[in-house]
Amino acid sequence: MKLRTRKTEDQAAWFDSPEFEAAYHCALPLGSLWAPERTEFRLWAPTAGRVRLRLFREGTGGAPLEELDLEPGKRGLWSAEAEGDLHGVYYDYLVTVEGLCRRTADPYARACGLNGERSMVVDLRRTDPEGWETDRAPARKAETVIYEVHVKDFSWDPACGVKPEWRGRFKALTQEGTSLHGDGAHPTGLDYLKGLGITHVQLMPVFDYGSVDEGGSPEQFNWGYDPVNYNVPEGSYSTDPAKGEVRIRELKEAVQALHRAGLRVVMDVVYNHTYRLDSWLWRTVPWYYVRQWPDGKTSNGSGCGCDLATERSMCGQYILDSVLYWAEEYHMDGFRFDLMGLLDTELMNSIRRALDRRYGPGEKLLLGEPWAADRAAVRPGTLLADKENLSRLDSGIAAFCDSTRDAVKGSLFSPDARGLANGGGLDAEQLRCCLRGWAGEGFPAKAPSQTVSYLSAHDDWTLWDRLALTLDPGAGFDAATPALLRANRFAAAVCFSCQGQLFLLSGEEFGRTKQGVQNTYNAPLALNRLDWERAWRFEELADYYRGLLALRQRLPGLCDKSPKAGERFSPALVPANGCAVLELDNAGNSPWRRLLLAYNAGDGEANFPLPPGNWELLVDGSSSWKWKSPEAAEGHFTLPPVSAAFFGLCCKDYEI
Ligand code: CA
């Protein structure tokens, strides 16, 4: 079958057709396949008329060491072999399509040089840190608590005590024993994470992205949602971006150190678009990987103008292979899909199945944003992995729950909107839905396993800023007023009593501020950096978070992720305006067989009777550690304004 030159619409239909897939789908391993005596180069380029390989000594500059033509084979595959041990040799391709020759790096590359401009042949075993072969993820906990970290902003603040040459880099995640200004008393960095009660660190994009010049100033900052090389780590986080194997080894060291610290690692992946339309994928097979409207305009569901056509088989295969590669080679324990609502349900389910087959059911976490920035030009019949289609997704794929987020702090799209925690009042039925993770009959999620309950992520206002803007706009963002602290504690208590998997932006627990700026993706480090002095100035707030998270692991009623988990809840009682009380079956491995959760979002005290029984106060509005030495509670309980209280009904003979 020969490809003809077609008009855009025809070409898109051709790429979408079953005939194209039948003729050109290629399931072989692609990229440069290193072996001690020779390296095989394989590129999928079904529309190419010629593919030429160029080998280089360096990742940038210099004349080619050697050039050779790849041979066309079946199913659009081009290949060539080069003799010798090519580890550390850089390369690119000249791909000619319809008479136009374009230079491209290898979209399947596993290593690259400075700024990812050229690919590098790599013997991956030479990139393994010491002890890598015995690296294992720590055991899973009853509840998943994900903490979102940006590699650079995590350790940029000199107060964190990380070695200057490691600040802002993967290496910072490996340094133990750091403390605030080195005082030895207030842990920072990795040591701080160990004591927080989180189970997973989610790394914002660590694949190679394009918005930071790897050879430029270390002061540059970007979140990194602009992929260039999907299967290679970002160079600006390494100590030497020009040497292809360094970034690989250093990311592995970071994963290894997090595992040793008892934490699993989730990788933020951006398979919905590329940095520019003119990507390596595009240069290799023009238009194949990109969604287009019938008039030829590119689909803009990502807001970046170059949505990937995940429903096309070789694009889906590319994404699946990439996820499996990070899981296998870098020991990643989970993946967070940026704008998952632009990926198709079939692909997401196939990723879930493939990971479950290799590593065991649910061993690798999958979560994503069940939305997109705009409508997308998908192949007819494609179902997107958005909120509407959650029921079509495997119950082991979780989605960020904007319903709970907005119920607690007000809708993001309306600056004045209030929620439970900032004066918006309490709707008992809505609260009950939040607590159940919006799962079960009549809800988009089939079970709480599909729900990520959260209040803040890198996007939009931090929780603290949102509360400050709505509750006390004159106070600024640095004043820890009692009203703000109280609202923050209440918000955390609500979120951490929801049945979904838990998630928070790093620093939420110490009132992280970005001075009211919503979208700081390329804002200066001064605004984005995690402020380690603040971590200890807001120690009491952080301690409230710690107590809630430690308790959570002992509450099977909330950790239950089954479709029937919601049935553990009683209907909500509404003893007073702005107040709700719910009882919950807590059967499982716990000192308490029932829980009573009480919330007061009003501005006055609320009084309610405790049911008969041997109740203990576990958490109230000022302390989340009461459960460590619980006090008996009976009769009536008074709940101060803007606070929560949790009670447990004792099981006899159970040691905490
Ligand atoms: Ca880069």
> Which ranges in 17-82 belong to alpha helices (H)?
18-24
Q: What is the Cα–Cα distance from 12 to 629, expressed in whole angstroms? A: 66
Tens of pLDDT, residues 233-273: 999 999 999 999 999 999 999 999 999 999 999 999 999 99
| Residue 46 CB neighbours (<10 A) | 22
- Single-letter amino acid, residue 332: M
Residue 652 pLDDT: 66
- From 86, 104, 127, give the residue that closes a domain: 127
Confidence of residue 63 (pLDDT cuts 50, 70, 90): very high
Is pLDDT above 50 for 354?
yes
Report the pLDDT averaged over residues 300-313.
Answer: 95
Tell me the pLDDT band of 1, cut-offs 50, 70 and 90: very low
Would you say residue 305 has pLDDT above 90?
no
CA of 215 from ligand 1 middle (Å) equals 9
Position 144 pLDDT exceeds 60: yes
pLDDT at 184 over 60: yes
Q: How many domains does the chain have?
A: 2
338 in active site: yes
Strands 451-454 and 398-400: parallel
> Which of the residue ranges 207-216, 296-305, 359-368 would you say has the lowest mean pLDDT?
296-305
Domain contains 201: no
* Alpha carbons 552 and 461: distance in angstroms, whole number: 26
- Domain assignment present for 410: no
State the Cα–Cα distance between residues 220 and 115, nearest whole angstrom: 14
Query: pLDDT tier at 4 (50, 70, 90 boundaries)?
Result: very low
Domain that holds residue 573: 567-650
Name 520's Cβ contacts closer than 8 Å, sequence gap at least 6. 223, 458, 514, 527, 528
| Candidate list 338, 509, 531, 616, residue with the active-site label | 338
Cα distances from 340 to residues 271, 373, 386, 459, in angstroms, run 8, 11, 7, 15
Helix (H) or strand (E) holding 595: strand 592-600
- Domain membership flag for residue 242: no
> pLDDT-based confidence at 656, cuts 50/70/90?
low
Q: How far is the CA of 120 from the centre of ligand 1 (A)?
A: 14
Give the residue with greater pLDDT, 653 vs 227.
227
CA of 485 to the centre of ligand 1 (A): 39
Q: Whole-angstrom distance between the N-terminal and C-terminal Cα of the chain?
A: 70
| Span 537-586, pLDDT tens digits | 999 999 999 999 999 999 999 999 999 999 999 999 998 889 999 999 99
Q: What global pTM score does this model have? A: 0.97
Amino acid at position 610, single letter: L
Q: For residue 622, give the CATH number of its domain.
A: 2.60.40.1180
Cα of 274 from ligand 1 centre, angstroms: 13
Q: Check if the beta carbon of residue 337 is closer than 8 Å to that of residue 349.
A: no
The per-residue pLDDT for range 468-503, each reduced to its tens digit, is: 999 998 889 999 999 999 999 999 999 999 999 999
Query: Of 127, 159, 194, which residue sits at a domain end?
Result: 127
Residue 45 lies in a domain: yes
Average pLDDT, the chain: 95
Which residues partner with 346 through β-bridges? none
Q: Is the pLDDT of residue 101 over 60?
A: yes
Residue 62 lies in a domain: yes
Rounded to the nearest whole angstrom, what is the distance from the C-alpha of residue 119 to the centroid of ligand 1? 12
Q: Average pLDDT, stretch 337-352?
A: 98
Q: Annotated catalytic residue: which of 16, 106, 157, 369? A: 369
DSSP code of 531?
-
What is the 233 CA–ligand 1 centroid distance (Å)? Answer: 8
| 148 in a structural domain | no
Q: What is the CATH number of the domain that holds 45?
A: 2.60.40.10
Tell me which residue of 307, 277, 455, 291 sits closest to 373, measured CA to CA.
Answer: 307
pLDDT band at residue 651, thresholds of 50, 70 and 90?
confident
- Domain end call among 73, 105, 127: 127
pLDDT band for position 5 (cuts 50, 70, 90): very low
Dist. CA 31 → ligand 1 center (Å): 19
Share above pLDDT 70 across residues of the chain, in percent, rounded to a whole number: 98
Task: Determine, yes or no, domain membership for 59.
Answer: yes
Q: Once rounded to an integer, what is the mean pLDDT over residues 29-37?
A: 98
3-state secondary structure of 232: strand
Residue pair 596/582 in contact (Cβ under 8 Å)? The answer is yes
What pLDDT shows up at residue 7? 57
- Measured in Å, residue 269 CA sits from the centre of ligand 1 at 14
Q: Please indicate, yes or no, if residue 297 is contained in any of the structural domains.
A: no
pLDDT band at 440 (very low <50, low <70, confident <90, very high): confident
Is the pLDDT assigned to residue 378 strictly greater than 80? yes
Instruction: Determine the distance separating the centroid of ligand 1 and the alpha carbon of 174, expressed in angstroms.
Output: 21
